[in-house]
Structures are given as C-alpha cells and as structure tokens.
C-alpha cells in the first residue's frame, strides 16, 4: 500500500481531451453514508444474562451485562455495544483450520476468549434476534469507547484500514437483505484487537495485502504487534451441503470491459478517465465496491449519459476504498457503465534519469478494478512526453506524436486478468519469431541509471575509491540476455504447457531491485537482473540460491500460470508461484550449461523450505501451501515466500518425476499440464481442479490406493506438512550367473504410520552417466530391503543413487 503523506488535490488539471468536466466533487456526501459514518449509541439497551448469539462457527455467550444499540439509519439498526462478562468460542469446520488455529492458540480444536467489551456491526438479523431473546430493557448505559475504538481501528493504516461503513452502506441501500456480521472483540487472553467477520460476499481485504475471498468467515487480530489471520473458511451450510469450492464467485460484480485514457506527466503524475462496464453478480447491487490506489483521487464519476454519480473515497492514508453509488439497485446480470476521472502522484514515481516506477500496489489498481480472477477486455490510450517509450499489456494498435506528446493505443484481443504499463527512456529491441507462430519478443532497458544509483557512483568518485564500484553500470547490455531467455523459455513452456497464451512478450527493466513481476504480455525484471555479477556483488545482491538465473524464466512462466490460468483463491496461489518455479527449473535443465544446475536448483529450494527463519520457524512446519500468504503473521514472521514458491515448485517437480517414463520421458506430464492450461484457459483453477487433471494422467505406480486418486500424495504434501527422512544404503554382489546383484536398504523415518512414498533409485555408470533403475514403495517408519538382479545390464554400475534429481522432498540422513 502507499506510504506517502501529502496534500490531497481534488481539482484535476489535464491537457486536451482528457480534461474532465468541471463537475463538483460529490465524494462522501451521500446522506445515508454520513449518518452511518457519524453514528452514535441510541438510548435503546437490554440487560442480558446468559444470552447466546451463534454466528456460523463463532458463539458469543453474554453471561451478564448490557447491550446498547446504535441509532437506526434508514430504519435499520446496524450495530451494538456490549459491556459486561462474555465469552467467544470459535470451532472451525475443517481439520486443517482447527490445526492452524491451535498452532496459534495452543488450545486443541477450538478457541475460547473472554471479553468485557465488544462492538458488533451487522446488516443481518442480529438486532431482531437479540431483542427476541426477551431480555428486559436495560437500566445501564454503555460507554461509547468500544464503538469509537472500532471506528478508529478501521481507519488506521497500520490496523484494519477498511471502510466498513461503505460496506454497511451497500446493504442498507440494497433491495436485498444483508448478511454482514462483524465483531470487534476486546479479548483478555489473546488480543484486545480481534475481529470476527462474516461476509456472504467474501471477507473483504483488510490491510492484509491479499484477499481471503471467496471464504466468508474469518478471525484475525489487528494489533500492530500481534497481527495475523487466525482462521478463515466458508459458510457452515456450504460444508453441510458439500458445495465448498474456492472458485466460488460470491463477489458483487464482474467487470466486462475497461476503456482507459491516461496521461502521464514527466513528474510521474497520472491522470485518467476510465469507463468501466460491469455486470452485477448479485441482486441489489447499488453501492459498487472498486479497488483504486489510495493516492489516485477521484474528481468525478458519471453514468453513461454523463450524469454525475455520488461516490465514496476517504483520505488516502485512512480507509480509502472506493465505492460508487448508483441511482438504483441492479438485478443480477444487469450491466452498467461508469466513467471515473481521477489523478494523483505516487502511483507512478519519477526515479530520475528517465526511469519511472509503477508502484507495486498500483499495478492492480491504477484503474478502478476488482480481482485477478475477473477477466476483462481493455482499450487503453496513453499520452506521455514524446522522448519516452511506453509498453503495455495487450497489442499495440497505434503510436504517434502530437507536439511534445506521444500517444499510443493498446487493445486486448481476449479478456485478461489485469492491465499495466511500463514507460521511461528506453533502449529496446524487438524480434518476431516467424517459425514460432510469429511470436514477438521485446526487451527494454533504461539508457541512464536512476538517481540513487547515480548518487552511489558520485559518492564513490568523491570518496576516491572508485575501484570499489568497478564494472559496467550500463543496463542496456543485458537486453540480448533478456531476449534470449524469453525466446528459450517461451519455446520450452509452449512444449510443456501448450501454446503461448499471448503471442507477445515484452521484458522491461524496473528500478526495484528485489522483485520481478509479470502481467499478460508484459514483464518487469528487477534492475539488479540487468547488472553483471561484479556490480551485483558491490550493491549487495549476490546471486543467492540462483535468483538471477531464474527470475526471468519464472516471470515468463507466469504468462501461463497466473494469467492464462489464474488461481481460484489465496489457497491456490501456490500453483501460480510454484508452477513458475518448476518452469524455471525446466529452463535450467534445457539450457544445459551445467547439468548440475538443475539438481542444485532443487537443493536450493529444499534449503529455503527447511531453514529456520529469524523467528526460529521452518517454512515447511508452519502450515500447508494451501494457506498461502496467511502464513505470514507476527509470530512466525514473513514466511509464506519461503513456502509457496519453493514447496509449490517441489510439489509439481515430484509429480513430474513420478510421471516420468523410461521410454516416453515427460510425455504424461506434458499431457497433464497442457490439459490443465487448456481446460482452465482464462479461468481460475483450484488445487482440487489441478489434482483431478493429474489423476486423469497418472501412472499405475502412482495409484497407491488403487482408486485412481492422489489423495495420499496431496494429503501429505499439498494439504499437509510432511517431510520424511531417508537413509539409503546399498551393496553390490556377484550373482550366480556372473551378473551383478544390488542390495538396497532404505529407511524412512519422521513420518506418521500412514505416510507413503515411492522413492526412485538411480544407477551411475562411467563418465557420469545416470539412469533410473526403478522405485521403492515404502510406508510408515520402517526399513525396506530390496534385492535387484542387474544381470541384464551391459555395464556394471559404479554405484546406486537415491533421489538423484531431488525427486522426493525429504531430509537425507547420511
């Protein structure tokens, strides 16, 4: 999220056709919204004794105390404050969630918390239900503090930073009954800042950097010193009816198309007019929630006829979420077009020397947006200073200059997950691969370094120690390498995963040093990638664990995983990152500079998964890959990166190794992956969707349960945290017929009794030649002995090897 404070200017001054009509700003002026925003306690209260309020998996017991209700708005009571003695218990509906919760609470199965104060906000039947319990009208009064504290936490950028009032307004102005329930629990045991929330439209993004939707129920803490998501799951009735899926679409709207006209000034200031056409996914959509970067300030929103619409956008440093209020509610499937005029700095920043940085947070929200899995078409027109070059997602339609400005237009031939651009003073190259379906590759590098690198150069010159910054600081020399990597990866991936989803890829340089990112047809690589190893060493970016060898191929692979196929929810994001890691390993394997690089790559991944972080945790232990970024919390640290990338990759690597056949090699694996990409083209895929496709193509050897299911493997490695330890011993002896006999002793430990694996054994011959002999099936903590007659072999092997390609994610005992 953005981090800069400053003056907010709502008056937009832009050139030419982009100038929005001088409509007065109507932000936050809706009277119902204002009533909700300034709400206070009413005089209505009840005294409660052992009252119970059950909300999904959460139960509130009010042993004694007073409940005071908030003032009604439009005849609806949207909250209450409780003061007294109460208990909250949470019993998650799944084994995985019970395990994850007890990992944090250290209580088995369910969590119990005590409180003396509670604030409830709701649009469901909570008010009626509490009243129905027949308690007598309250004598006491309630302090307004709990309510005020919850309102402050919602605005605080370090806490919830979510405009819950906008969300409540959605239900208050809707023609449909609401189902929202939020409890701010001032807990005594775990945290005084705990939120239990139920939203039938998916838990909204609460300053976590990612969304828990489509899951509807969550418990989290928002204390800066004790922050994390304790539980998240679907509604109870979905489990009861077995309809749980993370490809559920319970959001409010689907964006069909975007028409964006954007002006980027030399300073980096962005002003734009976006016409967004969307369809309601539910009846009663009147207040439309959209994601727009906080520093991009909206000056007006109009309907298709140009009539101004009321909207909500609070301070950029507070609960900034953007909502548009339509004249009346839409029915499910009904479409509407809004045009939003907005502008601001910080979404794009001028880094000096013709380098511009599109803020990581703004890349999904530089236009009013929904979520990744919502594919839309784009028609974009950019205006920018003419000495710069702009490259964007989609297909370039036209490029021209007018006076001092350059104008380029971009269109998408098919709906895409997200649109973006990169621009600056670039040197670039472009190549069309005629033999490869006219696939186009472009690479862009800045001709000058940004200010902070220039300052570093200046500093060393002044210091007289220029030798410590020796080497070539120009980044344009790496254009060829980027082009080459893009070409090789695109060809390998098209073979393994099916045809390239976008017939074009542009690799661009960004000033960020520590990450790359991939949008459909457009890749940002870190500036550090464009330096040689001498320079990288001097700026402290040595090639730890092969990062610079694989960042390009990894980002290119996201064209397939993340964009051609996207993830169903945060629980499936491991596939996007993990499969891109697997793809990068294919790149390393096939460029064959050194065959050991491929083996080393997986060793590095295993280290990432099993080394202890600063908080003392190993990524593999904190939870399964299906918890995604939820694994980051203040207790176990930011550990998700060390799990979902390397272990996600390992899971697919293990599948690849199990599917490998001596005669056909990777053929089965390729068939499965191609079918996966084709089946889920322009759709979100869940972990379960992927599992079903692998099951269709798996070998008989993988079918350990004889039921054509891979539950055994997924339960251990995908939904579980298993890590077996192996000890491999072997001897050769002469057989009766003069051949060789191999005796193998394999010990499996540190697993539960049900754990099963198929462990491959290889033979090494002269000149480093390695061949797979076969596999050993093993269950539980035990020793498995095998005696293999090798008399059919022409050559006597030098030794037997176990797990040569790191086929199985495990620890090895020497």
C-alpha 6/C-alpha 585 separation (Å) is: 45
Q: Taking the complex as a whole, how short is the minimal distance between the CB of residue 580 and Zn ion, in angstroms?
A: 5
When the beta carbons of 221 and 528 are compared against Zn ion, the nearer one is: 528
Q: How many CA atoms lie within 13 A of 577 on its CB side?
A: 21
When the beta carbons of 328 and 514 are compared against Zn ion, the nearer one is: 514
When the beta carbons of 449 and 649 are compared against Zn ion, the nearer one is: 649
Helices 573-591 and 596-610, axial angle in degrees (round to 10): 150
Q: How many residues bind Zn ion (CB under 5 A)?
A: 2
3-state SS assignment for residue 570: helix
Q: Taking the complex as a whole, how short is the minimal distance between the CB of residue 619 and Zn ion, in angstroms?
A: 16
Q: Taking the complex as a whole, how short is the minimal distance between the CB of residue 576 and Zn ion, in angstroms?
A: 7
Q: Taking the complex as a whole, how short is the minimal distance between the CB of residue 808 and Zn ion, in angstroms?
A: 24
Number of residues in the chain: 814
Q: Taking the complex as a whole, how short is the minimal distance between the CB of residue 508 and Zn ion, in angstroms?
A: 16
The tokens describing 82, both together, are: 């409780």
When the beta carbons of 159 and 573 are compared against Zn ion, the nearer one is: 573
Q: Taking the complex as a whole, how short is the minimal distance between the CB of residue 645 and Zn ion, in angstroms?
A: 7
Task: Provide the greatest CA pair distance for the chain.
Answer: 99
When the beta carbons of 295 and 585 are compared against Zn ion, the nearer one is: 585
Q: Are 629 and 229 in contact (CB under 8 A)?
A: no
Q: Are 96 and 626 in contact (CB under 8 A)?
A: yes
Q: Taking the complex as a whole, how short is the minimal distance between the CB of residue 440 and Zn ion, in angstroms?
A: 22
Per-residue x/- track, 474-503, Zn ion (CB under 5 A): ------------------------------
When the beta carbons of 485 and 577 are compared against Zn ion, the nearer one is: 577
Q: Taking the complex as a whole, how short is the minimal distance between the CB of residue 582 and Zn ion, in angstroms?
A: 12
> How many Å separate Cα 173 from the centre of its chain?
32
The tokens describing 720, both together, are: 């579980």
When the beta carbons of 167 and 563 are compared against Zn ion, the nearer one is: 563
- 382 phi and psi angles, rounded to 5 deg: -110, 140
Q: Give, for 772, the enclosing helix (H) or strand (E).
A: strand 770-779
594 beta partners? none
Q: Taking the complex as a whole, how short is the minimal distance between the CB of residue 554 and Zn ion, in angstroms?
A: 6
C-alpha 176/C-alpha 189 separation (Å) is: 38
C-alpha 602/C-alpha 613 separation (Å) is: 19
When the beta carbons of 580 and 806 are compared against Zn ion, the nearer one is: 580
Q: Are 576 and 595 in contact (CB under 8 A)?
A: no
The tokens describing 276, both together, are: 């967004």
**49-60 exposure pattern, b = at least 16 Cβ within 10 A, e = fewer:** eebebebbbbbb
Q: Taking the complex as a whole, how short is the minimal distance between the CB of residue 800 and Zn ion, in angstroms?
A: 37
When the beta carbons of 374 and 555 are compared against Zn ion, the nearer one is: 555
When the beta carbons of 419 and 575 are compared against Zn ion, the nearer one is: 575
First to last CA, the chain: 47
Q: Are 562 and 580 in contact (CB under 8 A)?
A: yes
- Nearest Cα neighbor of 26 from 362, 323, 347 is 323
Using Cβ positions, the residue closest to Zn ion within the complex turns out to be 577
Q: Taking the complex as a whole, how short is the minimal distance between the CB of residue 562 and Zn ion, in angstroms?
A: 7
Q: From residue 617, how far is each of 385, 578, 631, 635, 637 by CA, in Å? A: 50, 21, 11, 9, 8
Q: From residue 1, how far is each of 7, 78, 161, 195 by CA, in Å? A: 17, 29, 10, 21
Q: Taking the complex as a whole, how short is the minimal distance between the CB of residue 446 and Zn ion, in angstroms?
A: 23
Q: What is the DSSP string of 27-44?
A: BT--HHHHHHHT--EEEE
When the beta carbons of 117 and 577 are compared against Zn ion, the nearer one is: 577
The tokens describing 808, both together, are: 């199985």
Per-residue x/- track, 614-653, Zn ion (CB under 5 A): ----------------------------------------
When the beta carbons of 299 and 573 are compared against Zn ion, the nearer one is: 573
3-state SS assignment for residue 438: coil
Cβ neighbour number for residue 402 with a 10 Å cutoff = 10
Name residues contacting Zn ion, limited to 547-606 (CB under 5 A).
577, 580
When the beta carbons of 36 and 644 are compared against Zn ion, the nearer one is: 644
Q: Taking the complex as a whole, how short is the minimal distance between the CB of residue 564 and Zn ion, in angstroms?
A: 14
Q: Binding residues for Zn ion, per CB under 5 A?
A: 577, 580
């Amino acid at each position: 999220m953005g981090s800069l404070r400053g003056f907010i200017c709502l008056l937009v001054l832009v050139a030419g056709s982009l100038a929005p009509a001088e409509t007065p700003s109507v932000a936050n002026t809706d009277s119902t919204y204002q009533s909700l925003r300034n709400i206070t306690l009413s005089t209505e209260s009840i005294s409660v004794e052992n009252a119970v309020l059950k909300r999904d998996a959460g139960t509130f017991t009010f042993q004694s105390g007073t409940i005071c209700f908030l003032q009604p708005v439009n005849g609806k009571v949207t909250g209450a404050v409780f003061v007294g003695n109460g208990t909250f218990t949470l019993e998650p509906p799944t084994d995985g969630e019970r395990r994850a919760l007890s990992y944090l609470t250290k209580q088995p199965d369910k969590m119990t918390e005590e409180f003396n104060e509670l604030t409830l906000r709701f649009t469901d039947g909570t008010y009626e239900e509490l009243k129905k319990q027949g308690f007598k009208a309250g004598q006491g009064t309630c302090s307004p503090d709990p309510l005020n504290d919850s309102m402050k936490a919602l605005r605080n950028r370090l806490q919830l930073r979510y405009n819950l009032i906008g969300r409540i307004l959605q239900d208050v102005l809707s023609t449909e009954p609401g189902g929202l329930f939020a409890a701010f629990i001032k807990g005594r045991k775990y945290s005084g800042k705990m939120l239990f929330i139920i939203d039938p439209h998916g838990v909204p993004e609460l300053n976590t950097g990612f969304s828990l939707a489509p899951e509807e129920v969550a418990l989290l803490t928002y204390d800066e010193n004790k922050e994390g998501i304790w539980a998240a799951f679907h509604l109870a009735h979905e489990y009861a009816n077995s309809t749980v899926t993370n490809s559920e679409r319970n959001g409010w709207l689907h964006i069909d198309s975007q028409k964006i006209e954007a002006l980027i000034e030399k300073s980096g200031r962005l002003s734009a007019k976006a016409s967004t056409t969307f369809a309601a996914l539910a009846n009663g959509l009147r207040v439309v929630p959209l994601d727009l970067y906080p520093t991009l300030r909206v000056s007006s929103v109009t309907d298709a006829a140009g009539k101004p619409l009321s909207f909500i956008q609070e301070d950029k440093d507070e609960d900034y979420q953007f909502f548009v209020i339509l004249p009346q509610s839409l029915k499910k499937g009904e479409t509407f077009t809004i045009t939003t005029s907005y502008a601001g700095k910080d979404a794009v920043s001028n880094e000096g020397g013709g380098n511009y940085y599109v803020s990581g947070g703004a890349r999904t929200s530089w236009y009013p947006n929904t979520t990744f899995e919502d594919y839309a078409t784009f028609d974009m027109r950019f205006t920018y200073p003419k000495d710069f070059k702009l490259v964007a997602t989609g297909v370039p339609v036209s490029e021209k200059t007018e006076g001092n400005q350059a104008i380029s237009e971009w269109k998408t031939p098919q709906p895409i997950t997200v649109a973006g651009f990169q621009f600056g003073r670039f040197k670039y190259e472009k190549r069309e691969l005629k033999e490869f379906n006219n696939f186009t590759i472009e690479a862009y590098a800045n001709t000058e370094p940004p200010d902070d690198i220039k300052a570093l150069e200046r500093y060393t010159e002044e210091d007289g120690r220029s030798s410590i910054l020796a080497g070539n600081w120009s980044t344009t020399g790496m254009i060829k390498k980027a082009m080459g990597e893009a070409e090789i990866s695109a060809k390998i991936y098209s073979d393994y995963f099916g045809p390239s989803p976008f017939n074009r890829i542009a690799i661009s340089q960004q000033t960020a040093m520590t990450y790359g990112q991939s949008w459909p047809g457009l890749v940002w690589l870190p500036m550090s990638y464009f330096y040689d190893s001498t320079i990288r060493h001097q700026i402290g970016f040595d090639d730890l664990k092969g990062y610079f060898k694989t960042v390009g191929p990894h980002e290119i692979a996201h064209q397939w995983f993340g964009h051609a196929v996207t993830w169903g929810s945060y629980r499936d994001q491991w596939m996007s990152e993990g499969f891109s890691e697997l793809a990068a390993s294919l790149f390393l394997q096939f460029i064959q500079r050194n065959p050991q690089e491929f083996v080393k790559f997986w060793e590095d991944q295993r280290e990432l998964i099993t080394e202890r972080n600063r908080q003392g945790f190993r990524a593999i232990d904190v939870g399964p890959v299906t918890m995604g970024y939820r694994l980051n919390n203040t207790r176990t640290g930011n550990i998700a990166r060390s799990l979902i990338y390397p272990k996600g990759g390992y899971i697919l690597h293990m599948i690849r190794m199990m599917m490998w056949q001596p005669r056909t090699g990777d053929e089965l694996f390729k068939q499965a992956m191609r079918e996966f990409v084709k089946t889920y083209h322009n759709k979100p895929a869940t972990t379960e969707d992927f599992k079903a496709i692998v099951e269709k193509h798996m070998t008989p050897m993988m079918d350990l349960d004889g039921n054509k299911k891979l539950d055994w493997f997924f339960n251990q490695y995908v939904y579980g945290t298993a890590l077996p330890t192996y000890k491999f011993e072997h001897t050769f002896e002469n057989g009766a017929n003069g051949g060789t006999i191999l005796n193998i002793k394999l010990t499996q430990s540190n697993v539960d009794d049900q754990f099963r694996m198929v462990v491959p054994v290889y033979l090494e011959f002269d000149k480093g030649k390695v061949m797979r002999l076969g596999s050993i099936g093993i269950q539980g903590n035990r020793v498995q002995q095998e005696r293999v007659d090798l008399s059919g072999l022409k050559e006597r092997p030098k030794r037997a090897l176990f797990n040569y390609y790191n086929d199985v994610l495990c620890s090895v005992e020497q």
